[in-house]
Amino acid sequence: MNYRCAHRWAFPKWGGPLEEMSDELPAPTGREVTVRITHCGMCHSDLHIQAGGFDMGGGKMSSLERAGTKLPVTMGHEIGGEVVEVGPEVTDAKVGDKVIVYPWLGCGQCPVCQRGDDHLCTRASRNMGIQLPGGYADLVRVPHERYLVGIGSLEPARAATFACAGITAYGAISKLDKLGADDHVVIIGCGGVGMTAVALLSATSPAKVVAVDPDPAKREAALKHGAAMAFDPNEPDALKAIGKACNMNIAGAVDFVGGESSSSLAVNLVRRTGQVIIVGLFGGEFRMPLPMFALKSLRISGSYVAGLNELRELVALAQRMTLPQIPLDLRPLASVNQALDDLAKGRVVGRVVLQP
Ligand SMILES: [Zn+2]
Ligand SMILES: [Zn+2]
């Protein structure tokens, strides 16, 4: 295989379909690495990226174009594969290493990036699969070897999904205060990311985990993955029923939907001094009576993916414990447009993982 010619699927127009294109990769310099992609997970945010932005509520959309993202865009930020070429200064990666790629890059130079929180860089966003070419390709150039995480004995397709779905769940629950056995934590939205959070939290914390999802199959799966209780948010009086079942002692609510009704449910469920963590990017506007902040001593925070160190921690944790086997739907990369369409129309169960 020629490691200097990448074949990728990219969209040349915002909102348009992906097209196959190829380009020459120069020889890796410095600490750059080329990874031959074996798997790339498809994330719900790819639909927003393809559309060009996120719903900011009140009819407003964010714009990746205004923020400087250049076309064509090669999406795909859950990249797994094998190192095939390394730059002359690379010391910690070698040809043949089985890796996943941390995609949430910043400038790489500032103190925030240097401590491994590239995703929070204040200078630049250079995310792979948005600003930099991502994993809907056969080869990808990684700007620095430190963004590679070895997967050890983990199944490569599953490990690839850790780069976004996995660390998003892990990063969100890591923000919860130390919990006791009497505490309850509500997880709203039990798709792949929410379900991973249910399993990780149940396995690592004494608190009781409460799953909230309108889909009975997801509620049942959440109970299997360690949730103590599960509720349908669309039932009349769901708020009261959940509160009562938890002895009105809900220390935290993590919203993996990030919609108007889910965030409002989260805020209303938590006890005084409770934590609300908003993760999902469904979109809309957040409204709450201002006195609630003080009266409930509420803490509301957001959680966006997670740092490089958290990805390393999650990989280590996954080698020690059995995480939920979220169903994987392996498909050829050439069917990427169909897969995006299926994802948009809600026809995907679990996570699509593309294979070049
Ligand atoms: Zn993602
Ligand atoms: Zn930085």
pLDDT in tens, 90-125: 999 999 999 999 999 999 999 999 999 999 999 999
Name the residue among 192, 213, 200 with its Cα closest to residue 173: 200
Q: How many domains does the chain have?
A: 2
Q: Are residues 52 and 104 in the same domain?
A: yes
Query: Which residues touch 313 (CB under 8 Å, ≥6 apart)?
Result: 170
Q: Are residues 11 and 159 in the same domain?
A: yes
Q: Are residues 277 and 327 in the same domain?
A: no
In angstroms, what is the span from residue 305 Cα to ligand 1's centroid?
A: 8
**Which of 302, 317, 332 is the last residue before a domain boundary?**
302
Q: Are residues 326 and 280 in the same domain?
A: no
**Which of 259, 285, 302 is the last residue before a domain boundary?**
302
d(CA 213, CA 311): 26
> Closest ligand to 111 CA?
2
In angstroms, what is the span from residue 115 Cα to ligand 2's centroid?
A: 9
Q: Are residues 186 and 273 in the same domain?
A: yes
| pLDDT digit string, tens, across residues 175-206 | 999 999 999 999 999 988 998 899 899 988 99
> Closest ligand to 77 CA?
1
Q: Give yes or no for residue 143 having a pLDDT over 90.
A: yes
Q: Are residues 30 and 111 in the same domain?
A: yes
Name the residue among 238, 214, 204 with its Cα closest to residue 321: 204
> Closest ligand to 114 CA?
2
**Residue range 257-276: mean pLDDT, rounded:** 96
Q: Are residues 155 and 185 in the same domain?
A: no
- Looking up residue 241, the CATH number of its domain turns out to be 3.40.50.720
Q: Are residues 253 and 351 in the same domain?
A: no
Amino acid sitting at position 4: R
Q: Give yes or no for residue 236 having a pLDDT over 90.
A: yes
Q: Are residues 206 and 327 in the same domain?
A: no
Predicted confidence band at 77 (pLDDT cuts at 50, 70, 90)?
very high
Amino acid sitting at position 39: H
**In terms of pLDDT, which residue wins out, 127 or 350?**
127
> Closest ligand to 107 CA?
2
Q: Are residues 150 and 21 in the same domain?
A: yes
**Residue range 127-143: mean pLDDT, rounded:** 97
In angstroms, what is the span from residue 123 Cα to ligand 2's centroid?
A: 5
Q: What is the pLDDT of residue 355?
A: 98
In angstroms, what is the span from residue 278 Cα to ligand 1's centroid?
A: 15
Q: What is the pLDDT of residue 54?
A: 82
**Which of 258, 285, 302 is the last residue before a domain boundary?**
302
Predicted confidence band at 347 (pLDDT cuts at 50, 70, 90)?
confident
> Closest ligand to 193 CA?
1
Q: Give yes or no for residue 57 having a pLDDT over 90.
A: no
d(CA 73, CA 118): 21
Q: Are residues 32 and 105 in the same domain?
A: yes
Q: Which domain holds residue 98?
A: 5-164+306-355
Predicted confidence band at 169 (pLDDT cuts at 50, 70, 90)?
very high
- Looking up residue 150, the CATH number of its domain turns out to be 3.90.180.10
Q: Are residues 55 and 147 in the same domain?
A: yes
| pLDDT digit string, tens, across residues 289-340 | 999 999 999 999 999 999 999 999 999 999 988 777 778 999 999 999 999 9
Please state, rounded to an integer, the average pLDDT across all residues of the chain.
Answer: 94
The 8-class DSSP code of residue 23 comes to: E
In angstroms, what is the span from residue 126 Cα to ligand 2's centroid?
A: 10
